[in-house]
Amino acid sequence: MIGAAAGGSHTVVQTDEGELFTFGCGGKGEFGLDTVAVGAEWHAMSICRGWSQRPSIELKPGPRQFTSASWGYFLSIVIPEKLSYLAAVVVMLAQMMFSGANPSLPMIDKSMAWAAWMPNFVFLRWGQEALYITEVQPAIDADPFAQTRIEDSMMEMHKYATDHFWGDIGGCLLIGIILRILAYLALAYMNLDKQAQV
């Protein structure tokens, strides 16, 4: 094995002979294959011979970490210290609820029509779609004939599209920048209040 990439539900491994193995939960055609029921979960495995691109695993700070830190910075300024931990938990629970993971974006549209707009303001939603695209792209690149099937299942299950990647990254960064600007304004306002008392 010369490389591997792993996500929450999918794994890709490349051997030194150029074979590419993909496996994990694939109940909706994520690997471009038919799936096999094993126990309570759906699993799929594919083998692609002659894969020439060498995968790399590199963990770097990115837009999701930037935006997550922005939330922490913003909350630490506007929420009193005694309530800041509780506020962080409430914000993260709301972020997770509207991230599109579970419930998925189509489920939110159906069951909570009043809240269908909320995922657009949740950085986890944008980060998750970008991560999902990163996970399925090797399968699409390995078997271009499966691209339509994979993209159709992504749209049906999650409302994700492979051409949204840079928009997703931009969405994360934009939310982080807005939060940092709001934190700065809150800090400036609090300092004005202190200066007036002097």
Number of domains forming the structure of the chain = 2
Q: Give counts: helices (H), strands (E), the chain.
A: 6, 5
Two tokens at 8?
Answer: 């929450």
Judge contact between 59 and 164, C-beta under 8 A.
Answer: no
Whether residues 141 and 54 fall in one domain: no
Two tokens at 89?
Answer: 């938990």
Whether residues 100 and 192 fall in one domain: yes
Residue 39 has pLDDT above 70, yes or no: no
Whether residues 42 and 26 fall in one domain: yes
Whether residues 159 and 80 fall in one domain: yes
Whether residues 193 and 119 fall in one domain: yes
C-alpha angle 27-31-36 in degrees, rounded to nearest 5: 40
Whether residues 84 and 163 fall in one domain: yes
Place 96 in a pLDDT band, splitting at 50, 70 and 90: confident
Question: E strands, the chain, where?
Answer: 3-6, 10-14, 20-24, 36-38, 41-48
Place 45 in a pLDDT band, splitting at 50, 70 and 90: very low
What does the DSSP 8-state code read for residue 89?
H
Whether residues 81 and 179 fall in one domain: yes
Whether residues 77 and 174 fall in one domain: yes
Whether this model's pTM surpasses 0.85: no
What local confidence, expressed as pLDDT, does residue 66 receive?
A: 80
Whether residues 66 and 54 fall in one domain: no
Judge contact between 77 and 69, C-beta under 8 A.
Answer: no
Of 6-10, 117-121, 175-179, the least confident: 6-10
Residues 6+ apart with CB under 8 A from 125: 98, 99, 100, 105, 119, 171
Helix (H), strand (E), coil (C) string for 128-183: HHHHHHHHHHHHHHHCHHHHHHHHHHHHHHHCCCHHHHHHHHHHHHHHHHHHHHHH
Which structural domain, as residue segments, surrounds residue 4?
Answer: 1-59
Whether residues 74 and 137 fall in one domain: yes
Place 93 in a pLDDT band, splitting at 50, 70 and 90: confident
Mean pLDDT for 28-45 is 47
Mean pLDDT for 40-56 is 44
Whether residues 102 and 140 fall in one domain: yes
Whether residues 5 and 93 fall in one domain: no
